[in-house]
Structure 1
Amino acid sequence: MRTGLVAVAALTLVLSVGAGPAAAKGGEIGGSGNEYFRSDPAGAPTTVHQTFGLTDDGALVGDWDGDGVDTLAVRRGNRYHFKNTFSGAIANFSQSYGTVDDEVLVGDWDGDGVDTLAVRRGNRYHFKNTFSGAIANFSQSYGTVDDEVLVGDWDGDGVDTLAVRRGNRYHFKNTFSGAIANFSQSYGTVDDEVLVGDWDGDGVDTLAVRRGNRFHLKNTFSGAIAEKVVTYGRDSDHAFSGGLDAAGGTGLGVRRPPPAPEPAPAPDPQPPVFTYGTLRSGQSAHYLVEGRTSWEQLTRMPYMDLYMIPGYTFPWAVPSAGEYGAVGELMDFPSASYWDMIARLDRYELYDPSLPPDSQRYYYRTQRPTLHAPSAWVYVATQRWQDYARSSGTLITTGDFTRW
């Protein structure tokens, strides 16, 4: 494959996604996320932005159909789901291979232009040349169990083979027989992440080291100075390499983790109360709050349904997936009387704040957002009553008890 490899952190066993006429090199792309950004040639602006798989999938890159373009695959246990294009969410085909604990490599092991899988167990590698069957086509022992492993076409013959990394020293193998490396190279530092790719399009894969979002590309196996330095992505991205077209050469890609969730707002120590039933203006229990509020506001509470249950004349608030939600009134109370009023409402709703939600008779009190307040108290049906409302109750389709 034309794709180089997944970034390999120093002293961490990570593999690259393999290449030859096919361009991708090695093993699983690290990190999480299902957004992938790619550029070709290396250092160019992003030319492909793709979403594929789940955020916690293992991810691989390879030329799965021999068209000269490296695309994604995702790993779930020992099942691999391969994608041959940059669009759509459905895999083109799948394969099971190895065990859930195997480390996995990608490469063009037979020079046919199609990347396939291999699994590593210690220093033994089991290579598969097709996408069917559970038996390896051949195996090889190389290096030690502690080596980091890379995949690439080191001699330009169209077949991907192994290399092992020890610190900043790399030992390259051009065949699948024998325990002795064909040649070695020192490059970068022991702390560098490393990628593999055909950076100059000559058919030979060489190394690159990553430092932050800068990639130092080497086009030969001699000398300590990079031939080219490019910048791509963010420091927090997980990098890989692969070709985006059949013209040859290898580009860069990054897997981006999902954005961190927004921090939850600090809870309001005295939030208003969302009333949706008999406490609302004009209803039978409004006398409990009438003349005691500091302000009132008609509003909605998204993701909350109201149900009527046979035998009861008041509504039940049940959490839902509906964005429209329940209609009600926000009521706030003066600070001096706030907790006395909350206690008054608790007694009316038969809610005991010393008990957990499932131990309440009808409702538990919790905070939920509304359209006019980021947080408000609301009395929600306990799980038992939620289940009963959904199975035997009647949904108030307008969300408004006063229009029932």
Structure 2
Amino acid sequence: MKVLLNKAIALLLLGILAACERYADDYKDYLNNQEIVYPGLARNVRYYAGDLRTMLVWNPSPDPNIDHYIVRWNNGINSMEVEATTHDPGDSISVVIPDLNEYVYSFTITAYDTEGNTSVGQELNNVRVYGSTYRSLLLNRGYNVSHLYDELENGDIILHFNRRDTLSAGTEIVYTDNSNQERTVELLADTNDVLLPDFKFGSAVRYRTGYIPEWGAIDTFFAESYDELPTIYRSVLADKSLFQPMNLPGDIGSAWGWEMPYLWDGVSDVDFGFHTADQDYPLSFTIDMGQSATLTRMKLWQRISGLYNYGNPKRFEVYGSNTPPGEDGNWAAWTLLGTFTSTKPSGTDRGIVTDEDRIFAEAGENFTFPAGIPEVRYIRFKILEPWGDGGTRYFHAQEISLYRQQR
């Protein structure tokens, strides 16, 4: 009985072994007796955004048998073949996919070798494509309202813009020169100022700003339309012979023989000018220019013997009116034309004046009125703070020049 049981067990084991041997190679029937080969994968797959297109970039597989790649999108409905131009992982392969919609896409990149074997493929998701919707949101870069431009002696002008938006790529500025030719200059993204050579005063200046939607984008998007700057007219010196002092209630009087008319006598290099009496700040004084004008800029010379000190003005406001001021000295009828702060080039403490400071001050400091201010005949200064210490209770200056628009 025991012998029969052992024989039965032996026969069963032989049957199992035979069955295993029969199925072990059955998979070869499905592979035509060939092994599966997977070409190497692309690495570091990335994209760079564009205008209804995108650029895909990857580092190639070192597999020398890879012949090309297939890029698929829209769930495989669309595809593009890309030649494997290199097998060096240190190189890059790129392809621009055109004719896309403003949408977020997913792409699959599959490698093919010379035998037709395919890699498992890599997906690149959240690829954003930009277009008209993004463009409609763009705004042109803002200009410096309080200091739009500087006029150079040769007739050129320098425009001043506000700091750029992070993704601003530059601003295109179109203007007319003195030969009536249209010219275009570019305000670079990382600068605030741009030169307009041979500018024709009184002509239109229009501009539009370009942006990149993402860092590394392959296309620049410009705002849909140009904006126009306020008209820029040539500046000419206002006729000082027409200036007359006015003495309104609340205004400060003169002292030490330094009368107000010395402020516009044309002498800027002598230590003499207008000096007020003592009074707590703010201090005010008024001038009748003798003619109505739209002011563009002003040049002020400090008292030489006290540069950036004592009663020389540090912060002040200028108001204007085109109608005779009321006899009560009320400020309600006056329009603020500009608020200004004097600049000390060296930035050193009070009492220290460098050669740079002296050269700058002795040339007269320029202050530019904002664009769009009204035409005025009467101007009123309000001195808010002197360069001197807290005990200073007076104002002084040697000379002032006012410039107006020439139309």
TM range (shorter): under 0.3
TM score, norm. by length of structure 2: 0.22
* Higher helix residue share: 2
The structure having more radius of gyration, on CA atoms, is 2
